[in-house]
Chains A and B, each alone.
Chain A
Amino acid sequence: QSALTQPPSASGSPGQSVTISCTGTSSDVGGYNYVSWYQQHPGKAPKLIIYEVTKRPSGVPARFSGSKSGNTASLTVSRLQTDDEADYYCGSYANSNYVFGTGTKIIVL
């Protein structure tokens, strides 16, 4: 199973929005509505912020939203805050396996 493809970095100023893409195949992203997004600050464990493409766990701000079209999923962070600067990984269920994206660093300018 190959890693899902994400851009290495994305940036925006506080208050702006940034969108990250996550491209897979029909065997993972395109084949299931089980795409998740994880936020990881340096030296910390990943944290689930989006699951089942669009759902947010309790406590995750509505500024984080997800979508999917075909084999590509996207994460949008609206109204950027300084604490949003972190690495973001998509993940997809794939027939009992699990595949992560290559990771995107969001930089808040």
Chain B
Amino acid sequence: EEQILESGGGLAQPGGSLRLTCVASGFNVIKSDMRWVRQAPGKGLEWVSLINVAATSTYYADSVRGRFTISKDTSSGALSLDLNSLKAEDTAVYYCAKGWYHLDVWGKGTAVTVSS
């Protein structure tokens, strides 16, 4: 069974940084197209970022471009999302998910709260 586990969430101050990490079992994150999706409290789903299989192409939603960075670590087999210059509106549960055209495996999410 393919499973995903996210970690790294927590409380950050406005303007601060966090690193989210995603590891998988049953498939290899490094050999998969991977996306991050977030969901603010009581709100809908919002796509955040995409990285392709080879990690040669990355894409970002307008709301996070220039502040967030997606990457793959081949040594650890993990996917990461670096969150910088955090804003209150970045408060959300962040999900790691597998897929390019559709998202067929999702993690349970990690919660990020941006507050002073």
Contact residues of A with B, CB < 8 Å?
A: 1, 3, 32, 34, 36, 38, 44-48, 51-52, 57, 89, 91, 93, 96-103
Q: Which 3 A-B pairs have the closest CB atoms?
A: A51-B102, A98-B47, A36-B102
Find out whether the CB atom of B108 lies under 8 angstroms from the CB atom of A45. Answer: yes
Contact residues of B with A, CB < 8 Å?
A: 35, 37, 44-47, 50, 57, 59, 61-62, 95, 100-104, 106-109
Q: CB-CB < 8 A to B45: which residues of A?
A: 38, 46, 89, 91, 100, 103
A89 to B97, CA, bound (A): 15
Find out whether the CB atom of A89 lies under 8 angstroms from the CB atom of B103. Answer: no
Q: CB-CB < 8 A to B46: which residues of A?
A: 100
Q: CB-CB < 8 A to B44: which residues of A?
A: 3, 89, 100-103
Given known pairs A89-B44, A100-B47, the reply for A34 and B59 (CB within 8 Å) is no
Given known pairs A34-B102, A45-B109, A101-B44, the reply for A96 and B59 (CB within 8 Å) is yes
A103 to B62, CA, bound (A): 21
A34 to B50, CA, bound (A): 16
Find out whether the CB atom of B106 lies under 8 angstroms from the CB atom of A97. Answer: no
Find out whether the CB atom of B107 lies under 8 angstroms from the CB atom of A45. Answer: yes
**What are 23 inter-chain pairs, A to B, with CB distance below 8 A?**
A1-B61, A3-B44, A34-B101, A36-B103, A38-B45, A45-B95, A45-B106, A45-B107, A45-B108, A45-B109, A46-B37, A46-B45, A46-B95, A46-B106, A47-B106, A48-B106, A51-B101, A89-B44, A93-B100, A93-B101, A93-B102, A98-B103, A100-B45
